[in-house]
């Protein structure tokens, strides 16, 4: 067994945990992910550290919580003194590459994202498919093929679904092509590659040939309780009327059942394209003889509301569909178990320590996650990793004064919106769908107080462990 495995890190954008057929979604067309799960470990209760992109990505790339990295919002830049796990691998002699999104700094208004010392030698950057920047490597790739994104991007299928480019010219396909090229070119040296497609992030715009495969009327409707709205926070009430605080977008109550079903079909079509391209990458590993000694992880940065609870997209929302993500790991030569569904709670901050542990590299004291390698090898139970998971939202988008922290155990969840009287409290044993917010129930005051203290403790214990203490005084 090699102690210097290749690392292939597949990160999608805004993909919910419940989007894979092998884990129970019968609407999903994910044969490659299904086989992959059969060959490794699926963590069924994996949670991101923030329900928006930049804070989550800064967190799992450093193994540190958003409050610690100080990258707490989209549009903020990760401070230069933060150490990315990819940089550590580069320093250890790994050849590191990336295709797609990074999002550790602002990249709005035509300004390309500033890079930190990230360790990537091969850097093919494309924040999203739209040609907003000349530096977008995806649109450059299209130009080489005599294509433009504008010419291929169709119009409205509905007010909520758009027609994306054909699969052959899709950004997800380009990400996979760059990954395959890297895999084939670097079989003689340990490598670390990050695949970061934009899908299935909104807008919902799959290739038309993929959307056509779905019988829209057979798609499920969003999970909404008729009585839950009265107990929702002001942030949730607002996003029922316009998704992501964008006036006029996705007024859930004004959408027809057919509208909701079509959006779901489009989202799953985007997931299917990801699955197909993931299969291409796995084939390249097989064909180059690198499959056994490559640690492959498939995950997403955060979830998608997808109409559940009357909300689309993301925001200061800590429902499981927003913060619970797919997390699947395979490494045959590393004695990783096969066909395991791990039920214990884990966090995305655990990934960086896991990679370092697998490669025999030291885990930095400043990291706040826990290596999952003992769980992967069956040396310990997944329930031994942590008693709860913790997630944060700090005014991260256009919701003003939305500062929330979440603590979730196996059986309970509390969300505190700081500086307000608002919050959420759920008994997950009797209400796994999170439809009945107990925050205002007088009969729940003891539970509420106990969990508020636990949430406060978690936030304090998430303080930066750096710099290390060097002496008694």
Residue ranges per domain, the chain? 6-222+256-387
Q: Tell me: domain 6-222+256-387, CATH 3.40.50.2000, correct?
A: no
In whole angstroms, give the CA distance from residue 167 to residue 165: 6
The answer on pLDDT for 256 being more than 90 is: yes
Residue 1's pLDDT is what?
40
Residue 398's pLDDT is what?
65
The answer on pLDDT for 109 being more than 90 is: no
pLDDT tens digits, one per residue of 353-382: 999 999 999 999 999 999 999 999 999 999
In whole angstroms, give the CA distance from residue 118 to residue 60: 13
pLDDT, average across residues 79-98:
97
SS3 content of the chain, % helix, strand, coil (to 5): 35, 15, 50
* Tokens at 213, concatenated: 């495969």
pLDDT, average across residues 305-311:
98
pLDDT, average across residues 201-223:
97
Strands (E), 331-396: 340-347, 389-394
pLDDT, average across residues 286-314:
97
Report the mean per-residue pLDDT for the chain: 96
pLDDT, average across residues 70-96:
95
Q: In terms of pTM, does the model score above 0.95?
A: yes
pLDDT tens digits, one per residue of 324-346: 999 999 999 999 999 999 999 99
Band (pLDDT 50/70/90 cuts) for residue 157 is very high
CA distance from start to end of the chain? 44
The answer on pLDDT for 2 being more than 70 is: no
The answer on pLDDT for 111 being more than 50 is: yes
Strands (E), 289-362: 294-300, 324-325, 327-330, 340-347
In whole angstroms, give the CA distance from residue 209 to residue 96: 34
The answer on pLDDT for 397 being more than 70 is: no
């Amino acid at each position: 067994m090699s102690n210097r495995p290749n690392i292939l890190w597949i990160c999608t954008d805004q993909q919910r945990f419940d989007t894979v057929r092998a884990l129970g979604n019968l609407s999903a067309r994910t044969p490659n992910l299904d086989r992959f799960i059969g060959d490794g470990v699926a963590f069924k209760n994996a949670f991101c550290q923030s329900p928006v992109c930049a804070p989550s990505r800064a967190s799992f790339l450093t193994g540190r919580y958003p409050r610690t990295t100080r990258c707490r919002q989209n549009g903020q830049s990760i401070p230069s003194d933060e150490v990315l796990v990819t940089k550590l691998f580069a320093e250890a002699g790994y050849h590191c590459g990336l295709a797609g999104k990074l999002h550790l700094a602002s990249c709005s208004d035509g300004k390309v994202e500033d890079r930190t010392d990230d360790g990537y030698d091969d850097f093919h950057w494309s924040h999203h498919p739209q040609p907003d920047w000349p530096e977008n490597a995806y649109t450059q790739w299209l130009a080489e093929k005599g294509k433009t994104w504008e010419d291929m991007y169709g119009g409205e299928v509905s007010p909520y679904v758009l027609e994306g480019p054909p699969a052959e010219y899709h950004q997800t396909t380009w990400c996979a092509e760059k990954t395959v090229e890297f895999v084939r070119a670097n079989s003689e040296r340990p490598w670390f590659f990050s695949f970061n497609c934009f899908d299935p992030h909104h807008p919902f715009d799959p290739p038309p040939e993929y959307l056509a495969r779905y019988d829209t009327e057979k798609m499920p409707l969003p999970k909404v309780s008729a009585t839950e709205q009265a107990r929702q926070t002001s942030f949730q009430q607002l996003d029922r009327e316009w998704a992501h605080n964008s006036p006029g977008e996705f007024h859930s109550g004004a959408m027809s059942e057919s509208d909701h079903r079509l959006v779901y079909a489009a989202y799953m079509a985007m997931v299917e394209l990801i699955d197909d391209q993931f299969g291409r990458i796995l084939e390249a590993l097989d064909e180059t003889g690198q499959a056994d000694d490559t640690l492959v992880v498939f995950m997403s940065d955060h979830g998608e509301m997808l109409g559940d609870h009357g909300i689309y997209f993301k925001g200061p929302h800590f429902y499981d569909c927003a913060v619970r993500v797919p997390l699947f790991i395979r490494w045959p030569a590393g004695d990783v178990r096969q066909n395991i569904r791990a039920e214990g709670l884990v966090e995305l901050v655990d990934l960086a320590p896991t990679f370092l542990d697998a490669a025999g590299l030291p885990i930095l004291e400043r990291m706040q996650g826990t290596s999952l390698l003992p769980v992967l090898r069956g040396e310990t139970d997944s329930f031994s990793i942590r008693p709860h998971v913790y997630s944060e939202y700090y005014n991260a988008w256009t919701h003003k004064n939305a500062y929330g922290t979440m603590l979730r155990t196996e059986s309970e969840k509390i969300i505190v919106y700081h500086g307000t009287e608002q919050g959420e409290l759920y008994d997950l044993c009797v209400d796994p769908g999170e439809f009945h917010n107990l925050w205002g129930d007088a009969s729940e005051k003891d539970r509420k107080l106990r969990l508020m203290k636990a949430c406060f403790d978690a936030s304090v214990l998430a303080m930066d462990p750096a710099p290390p203490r060097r002496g008694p005084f």
